[in-house]
C-alpha cells in the first residue's frame, strides 16, 4: 500500500492491496492463492523448487476444476484465475508485494528465515507480512524483521476455498493499524469471517481441535475402537462433517504432529503430547491425503 495516509480507513487501505505474495504452495498455500485470485488480486506464489511448483500448480488446478464441477465458478472464471496466479522460486520476486502470506510447514527455523528474508526483499514499508502458522508465536516472526508492527498472523482453515473462518492474530508488537487492515482484507476483500485471537499456541480453534484429534488417535492406538467406529461415531452422533481421523488425514498428519508438539511446548499439558503412532506415521511418510495414505488410503 504505497503512501498510505494515516487518515485513510482500514477498509480503503485493504481495497488497495492488489498484489499478493504467497510463500509455499502446499495444501494451504495453493488454497490461499486461489481465494486471493478469486477476490481479483494478482498473486505470485513462491515454491521451494521446480518439483514443488509443479505439485502446487496441480493442486490449484484440481481445486479449480472441483469449483467448476460444483458450479461455484465457470470455465471462463477458471482461466482468468489461472492467469492471475504466477509461480516463482525466488523470494526476491516478491519485492513489489503489498501483502505476503507465508504458508510453509510448521518449522520455526524455516519460518524465521523466511521472515528475515521477506523483510529485506519487500520494498513497501507499509506492506503486511502475514503468517498462516497454526501454532508458532507471531511475536517471534515479527522480531525476525525490522518491522514487527507490520507482522500479523492470519490462520486459514482447510479446505481454504470452502471454510469461511480466518483467525487474525496480533502479537504484542503488531500495530493496531496492521490488524485492522488485515481484518478488512480478510472480510471485505476475501469475504471470509474473522475471529481475533491472542498470540499463544493454537490460538482459539487448534487449542480446542488438536486435543480432540489426539484423543481419537489415542483411542485407536489403544485398540478401544476401530477407525471406522470413531469416525462414524462423531459424524452420526455429533453431526460433524467428518470424523477426527479422516480430518487428521485431511489436515496432514505432519501438521497435526507439529501443532501438537508446539502446544505441548507452550502449555506442558500431557493432553497435547504427540502419540507414538502419530510420530511413527509421520516418520514413515504416511501423512494422510496428500501422500495417499494416513489412517485411510486415498488411491
Region of 173 please: left (phi>0), alpha (psi -120 to 50) or beta: alpha
In the complex, minimum distance from the CB of residue 213 to ligand 3HC, in angstroms, rounded to a whole number: 9
Judged by CB under 6 A, does residue 172 bind ligand 3HC?
A: no
Per-residue interface string for the shown chain with ligand 3HC, residues 115-144, x marking contact by CB under 6 A = -------------------x----------
Please work out the total of residues on this chain that contact ligand 3HC, with binding judged by CB under 6 A.
20
CB of 156 to ligand 3HC, least distance (A): 7
Judged by beta carbon, residue 87 or residue 157, the one nearer ligand 3HC is 157
Please work out, in degrees rounded to the nearest 5, the angle formed at the alpha carbon of residue 214 by the alpha carbons of 209 and 216.
Answer: 100
- Catalytic site residues? 134, 155, 167, 206
Cell of 25: 504452495
Q: How far is the CB of 159 from ligand 3HC (least distance, A)?
A: 6
Rule CB under 6 A: choose which of 8, 53, 108, 159 binds ligand 3HC.
159
User: Smaller CB distance to ligand 3HC: residue 72 or 232?
Assistant: 72
Nearer to ligand 3HC, 17 or 197 (CB): 197
CB 263 within 8 A of CB 208: no
Q: How far is the CB of 248 from ligand 3HC (least distance, A)?
A: 9
Q: Which stretch binds ligand 3HC (CB under 6 A): 6-14, 60-68, 94-102, 263-271?
A: 60-68
Q: Which residue from 52, 27, 34, 60 is spatially nearest to 252, judged by alpha carbons? A: 27
Say whether residue 153 binds ligand 3HC (CB under 6 A).
no
The interface mask with ligand 3HC, positions 240-259, x = CB under 6 A, is -xx----x---x---x---x
Asked whether position 260 contacts ligand 3HC by CB under 6 A, the answer is: no
Least spacing, CB of residue 52 vs ligand 3HC, in Å:
20
For ligand 3HC, the nearest residue by Cβ is 134
Of 65-84, binders to ligand 3HC (CB under 6 A) are 66-67, 70, 72
**x/- contact string, 181-220, with ligand 3HC (CB under 6 A)?**
-------------------------x--x-----------
Across-strand partners of 194?
A: 166
Assign residue 30 a region (left: φ > 0; alpha: ψ between -120 and 50; beta: otherwise): alpha
Stretch that binds ligand 3HC, among 1-9, 11-19, 59-67, 229-237 (CB under 6 A): 59-67
* Residues engaged in binding ligand 3HC (CB under 6 A): 63, 66-67, 70, 72, 134, 157-159, 161-163, 206, 209, 241-242, 247, 251, 255, 259
Amino acid at each position: 500500500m504505497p503512501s498510505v495516509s494515516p487518515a485513510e480507513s482500514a477498509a480503503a487501505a485493504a481495497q488497495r492491496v492488489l498484489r499478493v505474495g504467497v510463500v509455499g504452495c502446499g495444501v494451504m498455500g495453493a488454497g490461499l492463492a486461489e481465494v486471493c485470485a478469486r477476490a481479483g488480486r494478482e498473486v505470485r506464489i513462491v515454491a521451494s523448487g521446480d518439483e514443488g511448483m509443479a505439485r502446487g500448480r496441480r493442486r490449484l488446478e484440481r481445486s479449480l476444476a472441483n469449483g467448476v464441477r460444483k458450479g461455484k465458478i465457470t470455465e471462463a472464471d477458471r482461466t482468468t484465475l489461472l492467469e492471475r496466479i504466477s509461480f516463482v522460486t525466488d523470494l526476491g520476486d516478491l519485492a513489489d508485494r503489498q501483502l505476503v502470506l507465508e504458508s510453509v510447514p510448521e518449522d520455526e527455523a524455516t519460518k524465521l528465515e523466511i521472515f528475515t528474508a521477506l523483510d529485506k526483499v519487500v520494498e513497501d514499508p507499509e506492506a503486511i507480512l502475514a503468517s498462516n502458522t497454526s501454532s508458532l508465536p507471531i511475536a517471534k516472526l515479527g522480531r525476525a524483521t525490522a518491522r514487527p508492527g507490520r507482522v500479523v498472523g492470519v490462520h486459514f482453515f482447510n479446505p481454504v476455498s470452502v471454510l469461511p473462518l480466518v483467525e487474525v492474530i496480533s502479537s504484542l508488537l503488531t500495530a493496531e493499524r496492521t490488524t485492522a487492515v488485515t481484518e478488512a482484507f480478510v472480510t471485505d476483500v476475501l469475504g471470509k469471517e474473522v475471529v481475533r485471537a491472542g498470540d499463544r499456541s493454537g490460538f482459539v480453534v487448534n487449542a480446542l481441535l488438536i486435543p480432540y484429534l489426539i484423543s481419537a488417535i489415542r483411542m485407536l492406538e489403544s485398540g478401544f475402537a476401530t477407525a471406522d467406529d470413531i469416525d462414524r461415531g462423531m459424524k452420526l452422533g455429533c453431526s460433524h462433517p467428518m470424523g477426527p481421523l479422516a480430518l487428521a488425514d485431511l489436515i496432514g498428519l505432519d501438521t497435526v504432529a507439529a501443532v501438537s508438539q508446539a502446544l505441548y511446548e507452550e502449555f506442558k499439558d500431557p493432553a497435547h503430547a504427540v502419540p507414538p503412532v502419530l510420530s511413527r506415521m509421520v516418520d514413515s511418510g504416511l501423512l494422510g491425503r496428500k501422500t495417499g495414505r494416513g489412517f485411510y488410503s486415498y488411491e
